[in-house]
Amino acid sequence: MEKKYRYFGRFSFHWFVLLAFVCSLVPRAQGWSKEGHIMTCQIAQALLKPEAAEAVRNLLPHNVDGDLSALCVWPDQVRHWYRYRWTSPLHFIDTPDNACTFDYSRDCHDQHGLKNMCVAGAIQNFTSQLSHYTEGTSDRRYNMTEALLFLSHFMGDIHQPMHVGFTTDEGGNTIDLRWYKHKSNLHHVWDREIIQQAMKDYYDKDMELLLQDIQGNITDGIWSDDVTSWKHCDDQRSCINKYATESINIACKWGYKDVGVGETLAEDYFLPRLPVVEKRIAQGGVRLAAILNRVFSSDQETEVADEASHSPT
């Protein structure tokens, strides 16, 4: 427990609890819960090759002591600040109701129709910024620390199935329902409730234990044979589109399925979906590591350089 709160040095623990409580009252859900993002980033950081690990360490502010996951929630914290309001549409993709498909040119825009302003465009954007950093040609307008934090956060969001959801219900945000005994909504169930329930039921409310279980299944468990195909990528742009497509497919098959406004979701919903959530966190982490390893490798594979030259900014 101690480790988790270390980074809030300037706040007392009680202030942190109060802050967390106030944040929990903010209505529109914000992406994987804190836990989802922290686990995605811890999985990724453990898989970095030495060059990428060093680049990440150099980009992180000193107060986090080299721990990427300590700042992976930062983009959710700043998205309502005036200075970062432009990042707000970058956390998700709204797709046409019931289409269950993702089409970049059709769907990747903000609510005013501005192109590339969605989580898929943002991942491309910040990957491209970071690859210029490695090449020593980075644009000084861009803050490379922020590029790293945004990329790391958005790789989590794009793997949260309900972040690539339907337009009218805002990715399930307007589908109010009950989770066991308390009020929630469908988006929030996938951001947070399923993870919290798993921690409560199986991991003694300890995120570390859940994380270790996921990591074990990546290295020599149920997913160890799949990891190579998860991270395989010849063309970053189409890989990102694939991740978004996987999410909307899962949203249709598992998220929206059998759910209506006002219903109560419990065990019957939770049990089959938990493995899906765990796998998405694992995939997000493995793929974030793969991007960082490519982007920070000194013998840059052509794909990254190529992508960077015609990437949206």
- Asked if 125 touches ligand NAG (CB under 6 A), the answer is yes
- Could you say whether residue 313 binds ligand NAG (CB under 6 A)? yes
Nearest to 193 by CA among 75, 64, 35, 302: 35
Please identify, using beta-carbon distances, which residue of 31 and 121 lies nearer to Zn ion: 31
Report the residue number, 76 or 278, with the smaller CB distance to Zn ion.
Answer: 76
**Binder of residue 278, out of ligand NAG, Zn ion, none (CB less than 5 to 8 A by kind):** ligand NAG
Residue 14: partners with Cβ closer than 8 Å, 6 or more residues away: none
With CB under 5 to 8 Å by kind, the binding choice for 91 among ligand NAG, Zn ion, none is: Zn ion
The CA distances from residue 210 to 31, 203, 277, in Å, are 19, 6, 12
Q: Which of 146, 170, 191, 193 binds ligand NAG (CB under 6 A)?
A: 146
90 binds ligand NAG (CB under 6 A): yes
266 binds ligand NAG (CB under 6 A): no
Q: How far is the CB of 199 from ligand NAG (least distance, A)?
A: 11
Q: Looking at beta carbons only, is 64 or 259 nearer to ligand NAG?
A: 64
**Among 51, 176, 213, 306, which residue interacts with ligand NAG (rule: CB under 6 A)?**
213
Which residues sit at the interface with Zn ion, rule CB under 5 A? 31, 76, 91, 157
Q: Identify the bridge partners of residue 58 per DSSP, sorted by sequence position.
A: none
Q: Which is nearer to Zn ion, 35 or 308 (CB)?
A: 35
User: Per CB under 6 A, does 145 bind ligand NAG?
Assistant: yes
172 binds, among ligand NAG, Zn ion, none (CB under 5 to 8 A by kind): none
Confirm if 128 and 308 have CB atoms less than 8 A apart: yes
Q: Is 148 in the site for ligand NAG (CB under 6 A)?
A: no
- Is 116 within 8 Å of 312 (Cβ atoms)? yes
Residue 221 touches ligand NAG, criterion: CB under 6 A: yes
Comparison of 169 and 193: residue with beta carbon closer to ligand NAG = 193
Q: If binding is defined by CB under 6 A, does position 312 make contact with ligand NAG?
A: yes
Nearest to 154 by CA among 125, 123, 132, 133: 123
d(CA 181, CA 305): 51
Nearer to ligand NAG, 43 or 233 (CB): 43
Torsion sign across C-alpha atoms 265, 157, 162, 274: negative
Interaction of residue 35 with ligand NAG, rule CB under 6 A: no
Report how far residue 171's alpha carbon sits from residue 173's, in angstroms, rounded to the nearest whole number.
6
Cα distances (Å, whole numbers) of residue 23 to 1, 28, 32, 76, 124: 20, 11, 14, 11, 29
Q: How far is the CB of 299 from ligand NAG (least distance, A)?
A: 26
Residue pair 31/156 in contact by the 8 Å Cβ criterion: yes
User: 157 contacts which partner out of Zn ion, ligand NAG, none, CB within 5 to 8 A by kind?
Assistant: Zn ion
Long-range contacts of 228-231 (CB under 8 A, 24+ apart): 230/283, 230/286, 230/287, 231/286, 231/287, 231/289, 231/290
Q: Does 168 bind ligand NAG (CB under 6 A)?
A: no
Summarize as ranges the residues that interact with ligand NAG (CB under 6 A): 61, 86, 90, 116-117, 121-122, 125, 142-143, 145-146, 213-214, 217, 221-222, 278, 312-313
